[in-house]
Structures are given as structure tokens and as C-alpha cells.
Structure 1
């Protein structure tokens, strides 16, 4: 078993380009199934918190390739998994 605090300390790395995305800031759990649906990575594109906008990176659980002792490897497509795009109505 893994505690959430241990899970949050691991670096999240995109396997497509080797880029570190950050660390897990939160998770979404489906209360009906008890399963983790997504991991949320707090990401700041700001320089020292001043420039740019802040977004969260939302990664569905099924896009996690491997959870290691120090890193979590994910399949991440920047256009697909930002909070802004997930919250926009479809249609």
C-alpha cells in the first residue's frame, strides 16, 4: 500500500519527452467505485509566481504507465489534459 503523502512526494514524468511535470497536488476519487479517477498536478508556468497563468495538469488514472519508488511515469498530451479544457462544455 502507498500513503497519499508518499504518493505526493514522487516526481511525475512524461514518458513521451522525459519532462518532469511536477508533483501530485490532489487526486480525484470516484466515491461510488472507490477508485482513483485522476491525479492533479499543480503546475505554474509563472516565473517566480509573477508572469504567465497557472494551470493544473489533470491526468486520468489509465494514463499512468508506472509508479516507481521515486517517480510516476505518465503518458501526457498537453493539449488533452489541462483543467481548462476538461471543464469546458462539449458539443
Structure 2
């Protein structure tokens, strides 16, 4: 399976609804690497790396997010792999 890396920005009601925690849980379930963090503008940013099929599954999940979330938009860009070895929750970006 070919490796893939994506940079993602998710907008809507995505903070204060456990979006980062649920994203990490789903990523670990899929065997993905990368990170997720909040932004001061209310969006959530993520870097997702792993097998193309699993990355695509994760991107589909991000359009819904956890139950309390209300996703308005998902912006996806191809990205160079960062070579992370796990999926982590990072501090808020200022």
C-alpha cells in the first residue's frame, strides 16, 4: 500500500467537542501517524500520514468528526511526510 501524507484544516464547531481526542483515537485505530491541534481562530489542523487507503478513510471521518461536532469545511492539501512515529495531540497554534 502506497504511503500518503495530508495537511488538513477543519472548520465549524470543532473545538470544545473533543475533536482532537476523537481524531487521535480514530487515527490510532487506523494505524496512522501525525498530529492534531487547535488554532486560535476556532479551526482544527492536522497532519495525517500512512497508507493511502487509511488516510482516505480518515479524511472521510474528518468530514463528520465526533458526535458533538458540526463540521462546516475540510480543506485538504498534499504534504511531504514529516516522519512522525505516532499520532499526537499538539498544543494550540497561536
What TM bracket, shorter-length normalisation? under 0.3
Q: Which has the larger radius of gyration?
A: 1
* Structure in which a larger fraction of residues adopt strand: 1
Q: TM-score, normalised by structure 1?
A: 0.27
Choose between structure 1 and 2 for higher RCO, CA contacts under 8 A separated by at least 6 residues. Answer: 2
